[in-house]
Amino acid sequence: MAKQFDVVVIGAGPGGYIAAIRAAQLGMSVACVDAWSTAEGKPAPGGTCTNVGCIPSKALLQSSEHFEHANLHLAEHGVDVKGVSLNLDKLVGRKDVVVKQNNDGILYLFKKNKVNFFHGTASFGAKVDGGWSVNVAGANAEELVAKNVIIATGSSARALPGAEFDEEQILSNDGALRLPKVPKKLAVIGAGVIGLELGSVWRRLGAEVTILEGAPEFLSAVDRDVAKEALKAFTKQGLKINVGVKVGEIKKSAKQVTINYVDAAGAEQKLEADKLIVSIGRVPNTAGLGAETIGLKLDERGFVVVDDDCATSLPGIWAVGDVVRGPMLAHKAEEEGVAVAERLAGQQPHVNFDTVPWVIYTSPEIAWVGKTEQQLKTEGRAYRAGSFPFLANGRARALGDTTGFVKVLADAKTDEVLGVHFVGPVASELVAEAVAIMEFRGASEDIARICHAHPTLSEALKEAALAVDKRALNF
């Protein structure tokens, strides 16, 4: 007999589990279905983000940064360390512990909020009395029925044709997070967030890393000044980054991968590596969902078609996160999940895509919100810009990390902040203040007039705002 709920959420990634919890908080009976499993077959909610994305990559980035600091930078602080060695099993094991803590935390939150969790693969059945039927396949098969269904099935790594993932030599983000040893030579195709972050992890641990990028410019979506500063820093660290390349045939042997490509100058090149990470984007997880069974509309790329409120082509069916239009970011999925749950409760929430922050967790970190300078120029919008280097920031000097700067872009007439860009230490945390200012349509003068604690890295944002009016105090 089918189990009836107000809401069934398909997927327990950031968009799905948050939507389920918020709906339960608002008094609805909620079920959440998710198929992720541990190696032992136990439930592992959290989706790509928790299991093979945001969380494990940040754990490895942190650990690898500690290793590099011990080898290269602690002596600058008068801390002499001898005989530093890498215990990769322990390093990766710590990552696994962090992942499990997040998995367990979500299961606890489900229990706390009375969300019914079902471990298995969900697919649509039919339109029935009481809403939509959802079939759960797994060790304990179930049929669920709900008036509203929220699709939050996420995305998977896109493979290169002819170079499918084997997770042994040709790796997606999944395989790249659990290499059993540090490769001597590592190739990465794609200089986006995943490519740069995972490339940085293995470079710090001793690999010789070469990154191939098809776009003619490095980080083309990032503010040009920030991208140039980042490229300079990454190159100095030892990352070999080639842009404007055309990847050709990829051959795999027992011991190496050979990537044939044409460089930006038109010359044919060959790159040989022990491992290859392919990070050329992601595709929505809609296969097996049963969209065709109920007539759910997908676009030509497989994304679920939704309107501005995340409503699909069918009444009572919603979709959020990576499986719909917009940036593939965990925090964007969370905001959409909350918004849909609140719409079901009769509220009128709003998700502002213009103030969604972006972060690349390399060193230096890169973070931004709003428009880049090149976008404003293309739009023909009059603006003023102010920037401030971390080199002139007292806290950055004390940290021993003065790479990068902060840039503030403001409307030339109204002074409304249009974009804020960071490259430097803990940019991922600093961007939050810029998001808050922009959400309230604040001005650069507002940032400039806010008292910031001294000495802090956040003072660099204040100084960049002052620089918009050409009155920076410390540079």
Residues 294, 303: contact at Cβ < 8 Å? no
Exposure string of 176-194, with b = 16+ CB inside 10 Å and e = fewer, is bbebeebbebbbbbbbbbb
Q: Cβ neighbours of residue 93 under 8 Å, at least 6 residues apart?
A: none
The CB-based long-range contact list for 379-383 (8 Å cut-off, 24+ gap) reads 381/411, 381/418, 382/411, 382/412, 382/413, 383/409, 383/410, 383/411, 383/412, 383/418
Whole-number Å distance between alpha carbons of 254 and 96? 28
Catalytic status, residue 454: yes
Are the C-beta atoms of residues 401 and 431 closer than 8 Å to each other? no
- Name which of 101, 115, 116 is nearest 46 in CA terms: 101
What single letter denotes the amino acid at residue 118?
F
Instruction: Sheet with 405-411: list strands edge to edge.
Output: 358-360, 365-370, 417-424, 405-411, 383-389
Strands 116-119 and 282-284: unpaired
Summarize the annotated binding site for FAD as residue ranges: 58, 153-155, 322, 328-331
Tell me the pairing of strands 240-242 and 246-252.
unpaired
288 vs 123, 254, 291, CA distance in Å? 7, 34, 8
Read off the DSSP letter of residue 304.
B
Give the length of the chain: 475
Residues 22 and 113: their CA atoms lie apart, in Å, by 9
Among 140, 103, 119, smallest CA distance to 11 is for 119
Q: How far apart are CA 25 and CA 35, in angstroms?
A: 24
CA distance linking residue 102 with residue 108, whole number of Å: 10
Which of these, 11, 13, 95, lies nearest to 47 by C-alpha position? 13
Exactly one of 66, 73, 77, 454 is catalytic; name it.
454
b or e along 255-270 (b: 16 or more beta carbons within 10 Å of the residue's beta carbon)?
ebbebebeeeeeeeee
Q: Is the preceding peptide bond at 425 cis, omega within 30 degrees of 0?
A: no
278 near 165, Cβ under 8 Å?
yes
Which residue ranges make up the annotated binding site for NAD(+)? Answer: 190-197, 213, 281
Give catalytic residues, as residue numbers.
454
